[in-house]
Amino acid sequence: MTDFDLLFSRLRGLAWSHVAMAGACFVFATALFVSPAWGYADFARLQQLLSWFGIVAGSLSLVAAFAMRAGWTLRGVEPAVGLVLLLGGLWTLNFPFSVDTFVPVVSFLGMFLAFYLLATAFEMYRRSAGRPGMQVAVAAGAILVSFANLFGLMGVSGMLALSALELYLAGWGFVYACISLSVDAPRAELA
């Protein structure tokens, strides 16, 4: 067995829905961090970006949940979260919310992703995989940053940085969940 066989064995057993969520969180967080938001048009553009985040993250997570071999978290959290994000993204794209509510919506998105991380922490505990306490700490950090953003503790100038930080934290939580909840392919498949 070569190193490539081991690598592909590990890739076959990845929790691909967590990979999709981590990638979407990192891309959206980077877009929020580098985007200037000085006027109404900028927030309208960020609002559309938020809708597309929901559509892309939800659809990728939904497809990956059925394609992965690693098993579902708590018997179906991945497809449910993917469906909620997809429908939420489609809803906000077709029926946009007020630009003034951008920060509460992003804060509630961070809290939603943090509760998803708590579900993965419970699954890590159930499977005795990884360190669930670390996952709970990342989820708690994402919730705290979301509340700080929701209550405006950094002011108007810091809201995009806090929004990006909560998504970066969630993204790293999904990376850890992906690594911890992945399974090795059976040896019979490698021969």
Nearest to 32 by CA among 144, 177, 178, 145: 145
pTM, to two decimals: 0.85
Q: What is the pLDDT of residues 43-65, one digit of tens each?
A: 788 888 888 999 999 999 888 88
In order, the DSSP letters of 3-44 are HHHHHHHHHHTS-HHHHHHHHHHHHHHHHHHH----SHHHHH
Q: Please, how many CA atoms are within 13 Å of residue 169, restricted to the half-sphere of its CB?
A: 30
Please report the pLDDT score of residue 188 as a whole number: 42
Joined together, the tokens standing for residue 20 give: 């999709």
Distances, alpha carbon 3 to alpha carbons 6, 7, 9, 190, in Å: 5, 6, 10, 12
Cα–Cα distance, 178 to 17 (Å, whole number): 8
Nearest to 145 by CA among 156, 134, 133, 154: 154
Q: What is the pLDDT of residues 73-131, one digit of tens each?
A: 666 788 888 899 999 899 888 887 776 788 888 999 999 999 999 999 998 898 888 89
Nearest to 167 by CA among 34, 44, 11, 13: 34
Q: Would the pLDDT of 151 be above 60?
A: yes
Residues counted in the chain: 191
Answer whether 102's CB lies under 8 Å from 47's CB.
yes
Nearest to 172 by CA among 113, 124, 95: 113
Nearest to 69 by CA among 113, 17, 120: 17
Cα–Cα distance, 190 to 161 (Å, whole number): 45
**pLDDT: which is higher, 17 or 171:** 171
